[in-house]
Structure 1
Amino acid sequence: MFVTVMVRCWLCLGLFLASVAMLTLVGHEPSPFLVKVFTSVVKAKEFQYGPLTLSVINNGELGLTHFIIRKLGHFFVYSFLTIFLLYLPLTKSPVFKPILVFMIVSTIAVSDEFVQAFIPGRTSLVMDVIVDLLGSLHGLILYSVWRKHYSSKLSS
């Protein structure tokens, strides 16, 4: 019961963050609460994201919050995509299926970044592919925890 509730709560948080990320892409500003939360975590520290140097000083509170929300959105969208693909009947092999799904998601992530290289105003970064693939691994882990818990519940 506890595992089920925790996985569902975590996925709801991910869905919320992915939704906020989509809204920021179409021009909606994140709530002041989220701006304060993210900027209080980062404070005045600088951090590298590929070739970019990000901080509250360089990007402003709102710019840094937009960046963090978009990356969290990417992470969770690729996590959801992985979970969705794992539920499709792609192969009967329980060993090969996660590998196949990860290969499909990797292809999508690389293709997405490749296309962005040709869109004016967009950047194509290897770090974005890494965030997407970490999201995919997150989805694989959640799926395996969920399935293990669910199958142990059925056998007892």
Structure 2
Amino acid sequence: MDNSLKTKQKWFWGLVVAIEAILFYSSSMTYKEQTSVPFLEKYLAGKPFYNALSKIGFTYSGKYQSVENDGYFKFVEFFIRKGAHFGIYLLLGVFLCLALYTYFKKNFVLMIFIPWMVATGLAAFDEFHQGLTGGRTPLVEDVILDSTGALVGILILVLVLYLIRRHEFKNK
């Protein structure tokens, strides 16, 4: 397994760079340029799950989020956008962990901590960059969400790697 991951290390770094390029491009766009509301209005015109969603409400970054406050389509878009934050940083955490695997393969604490801190730093930089874009607001809560996504991805990967190692050790 170790040799297989080492030979793919450059690919993992390439994926890290590709994800960062996507994030940089995305945070360079104004909200108006990247809103999915027109798409949602077209393809979710029947407002599926409206009744269930209209019962949900919570505060995020000091603003109460609900169908009543934001409207159905913006509320759905909120979940899509925050899911994208979590998901892309989950992938970033996984690929950072794989790219750094050969350096920390004998120390699970560093294998988790270093990629997580790198991903958190990149999330903070991305929010800062977003703040330089018109019509966008950098949010500490988004950095926390991104950081959590990266940590979840890293922990899942480390668990899988541990189970693979354990299985290989038992078969020797």
Partner of 2:156: 142
Residue 96 of structure 1, aligned match among 74, 95, 110: 110
> Contact (CA 8 Å) 2:61, 2:141: kept in 1 or not?
yes
> Contact (CA 8 Å) 1:82, 1:101: kept in 2 or not?
yes
Partner of 2:80: 69
What TM-score, normalized to structure 1? 0.73
Change (3 A) 1:41 1:139: farther
* CA–CA distance in structure 2, aligned partners of residues 25 and 134 of structure 1: 24
Structure 2: stretches of 5+ with no match in the other structure: 1-25, 27-32
- Cα deviation for residue 40 of structure 1 reads 4.8
The count of aligned residue pairs is 132
**Residues 111-154 of structure 1: CA deviation (Å, up to 9, x unaligned):** 11111222111011111111101101111221122112222222
* CA–CA distance in structure 2, aligned partners of residues 40 and 152 of structure 1: 47
Secondary structure of 1:44 counterpart = coil
Higher RCO, Cα 8 Å, sep 6+: 2
TM alignment of 1:39-50, pairs within 5 A: 39-50=50-61
- Cα deviation for residue 85 of structure 1 reads 0.7
Judge which range, 139-148 or 71-80, deviates more.
139-148
Give the letter for the 1:25 counterpart.
Answer: Q
Partner of 1:10: none
> Contact (CA 8 Å) 2:54, 2:68: kept in 1 or not?
no
- Cα deviation for residue 45 of structure 1 reads 3.4
- Cα deviation for residue 79 of structure 1 reads 0.6
Give the letter for the 2:126 counterpart.
Answer: D
Residue 125 of structure 1, aligned match among 103, 124, 139: 139
Give the letter for the 1:52 counterpart.
Answer: K
The Cα RMSD (Å) is: 2.5
> Contact (CA 8 Å) 2:112, 2:158: kept in 1 or not?
no
> Contact (CA 8 Å) 1:49, 1:127: kept in 2 or not?
yes
Is 1:25 paired with 2:18? no
Structure 1: stretches of 5+ with no match in the other structure: 1-21
